[in-house]
Structure 1
Amino acid sequence: MRLNLTEFRPRTGPREHRVVQPRDTLRHTSLTAPEPVGMILGDHDGLNRLAGLFSFAAYSRHTVVHIPLRDGVPPDEGWGQRVDLVLAHHSYGLRPSKWPELRHALTAGRPLSVRTDEARTERDAVGWRRRWGRADFRDHLRHTTHARTFFLFGSRDVFAESAMALAHAAGWGPRQERVAQGYSALVSGIAGLTQPPGGGHPYEVMVCFKAYPPYAHFKRPGA
């Protein structure tokens, strides 16, 4: 998949960062923070591009991926606080408390086009699933919400798994019943989120497909 991005090289103190954003807004895709249940709600284009951005993040250990999802069209359903999304590897060392300063420095970006490797992404996602459930499994997605932004910190394989979940929703969401009448459809979810100690309701981010109006223009594949 080809992604059109904007690349920034801001500095905070002595460190130079590499931050990328999608060049065009994901207009019909939104994210609500998990408190403890959140939701990604998007059309085919938005979910498909999100899948590509997660795949890019999986293999970009020294890059922060920032997806400004609050800039799109407000959804007409759902709950909770709408937030932007930031993806970064565990090893990057990004501190959410420093993000507002870093985001403010995102000026004078340059165009960047990259291609993702879906076959490699699928292989790494399968590897993650094979390890899931083992007693010594530690490859989770750490997460927090700060400054109206949802942060996910992970490894190559867990980001690849999330990319495949989003690609699945982009591909199968349009095939679900009643989506042509404007109903949303729960198709998948972001797996591997860290959970609070001591039990309680688990953190979840559901991935739902929803076509955007006018619905008369939307046709289910094969219909």
Structure 2
Amino acid sequence: MLIDHDRHLDTYLDQDAAQRIGGLWTLAPLHRVRWSTCRCGGTVAPPHGLPEDGTRQLDLVLLHHSLQFAPSRWKEVRGRLGPGRPQTVTLSGPGHTDEAVIDHEARHYRENRDLFHQHLHAETLFMTGSAKVFRDTARHFFDVARNGPGYVPVHPSYSRFCTELHSNDGILGDAREIHIEYCDQWDA
């Protein structure tokens, strides 16, 4: 579930969803549109209950910046999409991003072009970025998939495993922060 809070975004994922989104995040740089519906149907809600008024559930589209896709065309494109076709891709594994290789300091230079940009259109969040920024941040989703199910709370304020794409990371151009939380039980 992806929820728009106006100033930030919250994502609630179980292990399977975190693994899938991490995989899509890894594939985003392959110059194709990656779309995932993140809205829950019916009365399903995250464990904290649905958030306050003024928030909304969103779908997610991941785009390599070179596609120059106009989000305003999404409703038309989505209407023409068929059922899709299964494709198999082999990924190098959830722990493939080497944190030591990421140049965190370079992210804060003015010349840094490896940034995420976001657009909201037709109840859909468009995350646009370079191959490098997608590759470097996919680890957040794989961390949730790997560590969320066995997480033992060490403090009452941190009862669930979570991570985030944070503004201090130097990866969010005109994008809002995204809180990513493991959630294996949903309210009905």
Return the TM-score normalized by structure 2. 0.80
Query: Where does the alignment leave 5 or more consecutive residues of structure 2 unmatched?
Result: none
SS at match of 1:115: coil
Deviations 1:19-43 (A, max 9, x none): xxxxxxxxxxx10125111111011
The verdict on how the C-alpha distance between 1:159 and 1:49 changes in structure 2, with shifts beyond 3 A counting, is same
Please point out which of 66, 71, 75 is paired with 1:91: 66
Deviations 1:172-194 (A, max 9, x none): 2223335xxxx962521124222
Amino acid at match of 1:47: A
Higher relative contact order, structure no. (Cα contacts within 8 Å, ≥ 6 residues apart) = 2
Matching of residue 204 in structure 1 with residue 154 in structure 2:
no
Aligned residues of 1:126 and 1:161 also touching (Cα < 8 A): no
Distance 1:65 1:125 in 2: 28
Query: Where does the alignment leave 5 or more consecutive residues of structure 1 unmatched?
Result: 1-29, 197-202, 215-223
Please point out which of 57, 61, 64 is paired with 2:28: 57
Q: Which moved more, 1:78-87 or 1:141-150?
A: 78-87
Moved over 4 A (4+): none
Deviations 1:64-93 (A, max 9, x none): 000011155443435321000000111101
Distance 1:142 1:131 in 2: 18
Amino acid at match of 2:182: F
1:136 aligned partner? 111
SS at match of 1:103: helix
Aligned residues of 1:140 and 1:158 also touching (Cα < 8 A): yes
The alpha carbon displacement at 1:130 in A equals 5.3
Flag the structure with higher strand content.
1
Amino acid at match of 1:157: K
Please point out which of 143, 163, 174 is paired with 1:188: 163
Amino acid at match of 1:36: R
Please point out which of 91, 112, 136 is paired with 1:116: 91
Please point out which of 44, 67, 79 is paired with 1:104: 79
Distance 2:17 2:7 in 1: 23
Q: How many residues align?
A: 174
1:19 aligned partner? none
Amino acid at match of 2:24: L
Distance 1:125 1:145 in 2: 33
The alpha carbon displacement at 1:117 in A equals 2.4
Aligned residues of 2:22 and 2:139 also touching (Cα < 8 A): yes
Matching of residue 44 in structure 1 with residue 15 in structure 2:
yes
Aligned residues of 1:176 and 1:185 also touching (Cα < 8 A): yes
Return the TM-score normalized by structure 1. 0.68
